[in-house]
Amino acid sequence: MKRPSITYLVDPWSPGADPGDVEAAAKALCAAHYPVIMAGQGVLYGKATDELLELAELLQVPVCSTLLGKSAFPEIHPLAFGKHWADNVWSCLPLHPTVRSDVRIGTSFTKHGMVMNIPSGKTLIQATNDASDINKDYNIDLPIVGDAKLALRQIIDACKEIVGDGRKNDQSIAKEVQTEREGWLGKWRAKLSDSSTPMTPYRVIWDFMHTIPPKGRHRYPRLRQPKRSNNPVLPFERPPYLSGLG
């Protein structure tokens, strides 16, 4: 006897974070002298870019991304500090001595060859939807377990209870980030704009940057150049993003 075909429609659901954990993290974040946020691929999966942007602007906090979290935060934003991974020395902001709090959203805090290790002495805040990520490779001071989008919304609301409208009028951090970014890019400009023949892969990236605006860079074809060469210098405005190795 043929069994009938049955289709089950299951509504998706997302877990919110514990309010006590959110409140503790928000207090630490608002009180931090020089915090920085790192966005992982969980922000992309959770479609939490808008919430991440709102939090960064509310507190004027610089934002980096992991390699898999690229484009989770608009990379042309004044507070965008690029990618944080082993071959990209520009985005070492979490390692800077002035940074006292490192906030990770949607990333596992895993030690591996493509990220730099975080030195001791910093307050670590982690928001992840997988509890097994907590205290896996680092001792997390303030863990938050929950969906990235919902957890960020909870953090924003908790921070507003503390700082009200926030620090949107304070552009000092954004100017510092811009200065660092321009200085780093200046060191690459000669290689990127090299007009010698045969054309270098970096020149291809440079011409691409000046042909396709960041808003239109949702996806780009394989450039036959490793990610470690094109990802640091090629900004994307919004997800989704795709980089091929060629």
CA-CA distance, 71 to 243, in Å (whole number)? 11
Percent of the chain having pLDDT more than 70?
A: 80
Residues of the chain with CATH 3.40.50.1220: 19-163
pLDDT band at 7 (very low <50, low <70, confident <90, very high): confident
172 or 183, which is more confident: 172
Specify whether the CB–CB gap between 107 and 84 falls below 8 A: no
Determine the topology of domain 19-163 in CATH.
Rossmann fold (3.40.50)
pLDDT tens digits for range 57-98: 999 999 988 878 888 998 889 999 876 654 554 455 544 555
pLDDT greater than 50 at residue 245:
no
pLDDT greater than 70 at residue 222:
no
- The predicted structure's pLDDT at residue 239: 72
CA-CA distance, 14 to 31, in Å (whole number)? 29
Q: In the chain, which residue ranges form alpha helices assigned H by DSSP?
A: 19-31, 41-45, 49-59, 148-163, 172-192, 201-209, 227-230
The model carries a pTM of 0.84
Instruction: Give the strand pairing for 80-83 and 63-65.
Output: parallel
Specify whether the CB–CB gap between 20 and 124 falls below 8 A: no
DSSP classification of residue 78: T
- The predicted structure's pLDDT at residue 246: 44
Query: In which element (H, E) is residue 64 found?
Result: strand 63-65
Q: What is the mean pLDDT of the chain?
A: 82
Residue 217's Cβ-side half-sphere holds a number of Cα atoms within 13 Å equal to 22
pLDDT tens digits for range 107-166: 999 888 777 778 788 899 999 999 999 999 999 999 999 999 999 999 999 999 999 988
Average pLDDT for 17-28: 97
